[in-house]
Amino acid sequence: MAINNVSKENIKNFIIHMIGNSHIDPVWLWGWQEGCQVVRSTFRKILNLMKEFPEFVFTSSSAAFYEWIESIEPEIFEEIKQMVKGGRWVIVGGWWIEPDCNIPCGESFIRQALYGQRYFKEKFGLMAEVGYNIDSFGHNAMLPQILTKCRLRSYVFMRPNSDENREVPGDVFWWESPDGSRVLCYRIPFSYATSGGVLNRIEKFMEIIKPPLKDYMCFYGRGDHGGGPTREDIMGIFEAGKRTDLPQVVFSSPNIFFKKIAEKTIQLPVFRGELQHHASGCYSVHSEVKRNNRLAENMLCTAEKPLF
């Protein structure tokens, strides 16, 4: 039986990179104090899973989260540093937080990277390599230029999905800004969070895999209000690895995935323009958000100007 021009005999030529993650909204439907506790409990849980499963790899962004942990749980922070050093805890994003990517001005994005990358370099001895905004409702056309100047040569996002923008040329492509800057992009299929079991998520990739692309990322773990991967998720990955009717599954990270793609000789399509649209109108019905953002930007500019 062939699926997307892939025969059963060749299915093991494809690799599903399993990306353990926990997208966390620190101030969505709750205050930052609750968001801080969500980060704390999630990171503690992840470290426990790492002790139980040496194969397990975790991916996480947002320098603000690490600063919280450094302040309130220094022992956890030291454990994370050791896992980062060993390559099992992978820092992505390089920004202070995962922001909305439509409303802020360019200076705001640059500050994100200035403070985020500087923090990661100071505390962990490295800077993030992969841009990472998996829950933004859209992405402005100048981001590739900003990302590349912030040492982020690749980018992971989820929205708009294939039904919301049919001009985006697949899940792996080059995204180019008007100045010619490019980042290698991956659009997350399905979701950054698992529901219904990780094995079901892996099986869904049989619907989309096709040559010449041989590598895909499958994100798993509880998100929004934290939680991350579970023991059941990890056992499901082990089970999937034993099946002969599924691609190879490996515990991995976006860093590893993009390096694999870069090694290939396949010609990837190029997309130019904005990555839109998701949830059209969500900003206009909350105009106070836009007003307060502009007010904050102008106040910051005024505060930094000399008084003479």
One digit per residue, pLDDT tens: the chain, 308 residues?
456 667 776 899 999 999 999 999 999 999 999 999 999 999 999 999 999 999 999 999 999 999 999 999 999 999 999 999 999 999 999 999 999 999 999 999 999 999 999 999 999 999 999 999 999 999 999 999 999 999 999 999 999 999 999 999 999 999 999 999 999 999 999 999 998 789 999 999 999 999 999 999 999 999 999 999 999 999 999 999 999 999 999 999 999 999 999 998 889 999 999 999 999 888 888 889 899 999 999 998 899 887 66
pLDDT for 4 equals: 67
CB burial class (10 A; 0-12, 13-18, 19+) of residue 54?
exposed
pLDDT for 120 equals: 98
Q: Which of 198, 251, 193 is nearest to 50 (CA)?
A: 251
Q: Under a CB-based contact definition with an 8 Å cutoff, are residues 237 and 18 in contact?
A: yes
Q: Under a CB-based contact definition with an 8 Å cutoff, are residues 158 and 134 in contact?
A: yes
Q: Under a CB-based contact definition with an 8 Å cutoff, are residues 293 and 103 in contact?
A: yes
Distance CA 125, CA 139 (A): 29
Q: Report the run of H or E that residue 112 belongs to, with start and end.
A: helix 106-124
pLDDT for 1 equals: 41
The letter for the amino acid at 206 is M
Q: Report the run of H or E that residue 90 belongs to, with start and end.
A: strand 89-91
pLDDT 10s digits, 225-237:
999 999 999 999 9
The CATH H-level (homologous superfamily) assignment of domain 11-304 is: Glycoside hydrolase 38, N terminal domain (3.20.110.10)
Q: Under a CB-based contact definition with an 8 Å cutoff, are residues 185 and 155 in contact?
A: yes
pLDDT for 280 equals: 85
Q: Domain boundaries in the chain?
A: 11-304
pTM: 0.95
